[in-house]
Chain A
Amino acid sequence: MIFTKDLMAKVAKLSRIYLTDEELDKFTSQMQSILDSVKTLSTADASIDRTIISKYSTVPFASLRDDVAKESLDIKQVQANATYTLGRFIKVYGTTFDSE
């Protein structure tokens, strides 16, 4: 796959990151080299017995967490890493987008 500058610009837009023209060039070539590495990896023999995966990588339904509410963090802990707060809210400056 050829990773173009336009594609890099689209990924940046989806990630809500503004990139300069120089950064677009820089990251386009880096993304191309990541994809080339993945292509190399994909040539390796990765055939695995599916039944082994099924047996060891799944969990039974009955073992899932019980529906019991427990104590949450206090507001100081919740806001500890927030740059801005307002009352009990976390405050984020900048242009935002609609939720999904």
Chain B
Amino acid sequence: MSLMKYKDEYDLIVGLEIHLQLTTESKMFCSCNNKYFQAEPNSYTCPVCLGLPGALPVPNREAIVRTIKLGLATDSTIATELKFDRKHYFYPDLPKGYQISQYDNPICYNGVISILNDEGKYDLIDLYRIHIEEDVAKTVRESDNDGTFVLIDYNKSGVPLVEIVTKPVIHDAKTAKKVCMRIRQMARYLNISDADMEKGQMRCEPNISVQRKGSWKYADGKILPVDNAKLNPKVEIKNIGSISAVEKSIEYEYERLIEDIKLGKQIIQQTRGWNAEKGVTEFQRSKESAEDYRYFKEPDIPIIRIEQVDIETVKSSIENNPIDAEKELLSKGLSVYDVTVLTADISDYLRFTSFYSVVSSELGDSRELLKLLANIYTGPITSYLNEYPDTDLVDNAYIALFVKLFDYTMKSKIIVSKAKELVTGILEKRVLLSDLDEIVNNSVGFDGIETIVSTVLAENVKAVEDYRAGKVSVIGFLLGAVMRKLGGNGDPNVIREIILSELKK
């Protein structure tokens, strides 16, 4: 059954709620150790995170600093007064009976997530808010002869969490995935969270609805009906364990909702869980509304004043931001592809910039060198690093060889494809300095290729005439002839450019 027809009738509307655990030393409202991963159950707990009566929460300044960093990186407005609220609900993972969160005055608001598109410009996804709260305990359901029970480990209770909420401005699953990737990347660049979804350090929860085309409009961050149309309620998806599952779960839910509408089923507001094994969402519960949570101000925490000087201090402590990294590399002439690959992961970006810095200190800073190193880094170096991630590219054992190799390449004594082969040889310690000189003496540089191209054109007058008569496909034939004379040892793209250049003379 094809749903394409119905997809033409209905729009997909997605907003994202993303939680990040902050990697502080201590928890959000108490001094228990925050590094709970693989710790013994209930080893990092105290009266505050166990919710014992009379225990008072004391906010962790560093957790707030990290949230402000994220707010600044997303161009959010930072609140000047920080207020915490109690969000009430009853589950075994929440011993107080309420979660300390933020309701009507989030610490950051009106920000944007900027995503680099293929044209080198930024698509903007509006954010409602970023707020701070505490995580809940870990529970495991089991049963024995006496009945069903849960085992509770309170180590995770009170871990600092930030929640990032986008406006419902996403209309395809791929963009939702990109937003999640950008937030994960930001968290790592800002060094506020490891954002590992498999460890539960980052959780993405899409809110999805499908609306008949023309029945809705977007205004003031909300989806509103047009001409009193009845809008379909939204569905929230939880238990998403990977970034790719964000995309898959949205695609699945979009189809499921359309199919239910088509079958005349009533759509209810609900929370569904993603079952990665089956590739489906499953009903969990009908969603409670904000008023059911009976929010009120947390009376045990006074309002915290955040002055402009505090914000400036946080701003000055931000060392890396993916958007700044992208803009810097784009401004130096790198392609969107190279920039995207080089900045995707902060460790790669820092390793590349350090590598470039060392090489350029010897060969001089230039766009040509940057492009060459980007080309080589995203190719053989990345392949090698995938296998040997602890490799130190600026190690003395390598750097003199790299400098000489890139010097020869910049001077056209070694073609790029050969340089790529030699990089792998250097990393595998198969190539010595003397080998490079010998290779240069025996290899064909640009001048040599130009000579061979001229020879081939002279030997194939008919093909040249055909080309000039408009038969451009003969380029492939001429390219093959040159490659044969080079013994296959040449960069086809470079040779193609030289042939075209010679043909225009």
Instruction: Indicate whether A65 sits within 8 Å of B60 (C-beta atoms), given known contacts A14-B90, A14-B292, A97-B285.
Output: yes
Interface size of A in residues (CB-CB distance below 8 Å): 37
**B283 → chain A, closest Cβ, in Å?**
11
Given the complex, which residues of B lie within 8 Å of A95, measured CB to CB?
148
Contacting B at CB under 8 A, from A9-32, are 14-16
Given the complex, which residues of B lie within 8 Å of A62, measured CB to CB?
61, 310
Whether A90 lies near B32 (C-beta < 8 A) is no
Given the complex, which residues of B lie within 8 Å of A64, measured CB to CB?
58-61, 64, 304
Check A68 for interface membership: any CB of B closer than 8 A.
yes
Closest to A82 in B: B152
Contact pick for A69, options B25, B82, B140, B273, CB 8 Å: B25
Whether A70 lies near B43 (C-beta < 8 A) is no
Contacting A at CB under 8 A, from B418-468, are none
Contacting B at CB under 8 A, from A45-100, are 57-62, 64-70, 72-73, 75, 78-79, 84, 86-100
Given the complex, which residues of A lie within 8 Å of B199, measured CB to CB?
none
Whether A61 lies near B305 (C-beta < 8 A) is yes
A65 to B108, CA, bound (A): 21
A16 to B46, CA, bound (A): 26
Given the complex, which residues of A lie within 8 Å of B310, measured CB to CB?
61-62
Contacting A at CB under 8 A, from B41-64, are 41-47, 50, 58-64
Whether B46 lies near A15 (C-beta < 8 A) is no
Whether A90 lies near B147 (C-beta < 8 A) is no
7 shortest interchain CB distances as A-B pairs: A67-B62, A64-B61, A89-B151, A70-B31, A88-B41, A69-B33, A69-B26
**Residues of A bordering B, CB below 8 Å:** 14-16, 57-62, 64-70, 72-73, 75, 78-79, 84, 86-100
**Residues of B bordering A, CB below 8 Å:** 24-26, 31-35, 40-47, 50, 58-64, 81-82, 88-94, 99, 136, 139-141, 146-154, 238, 271, 273, 284-285, 288, 292, 302-307, 310
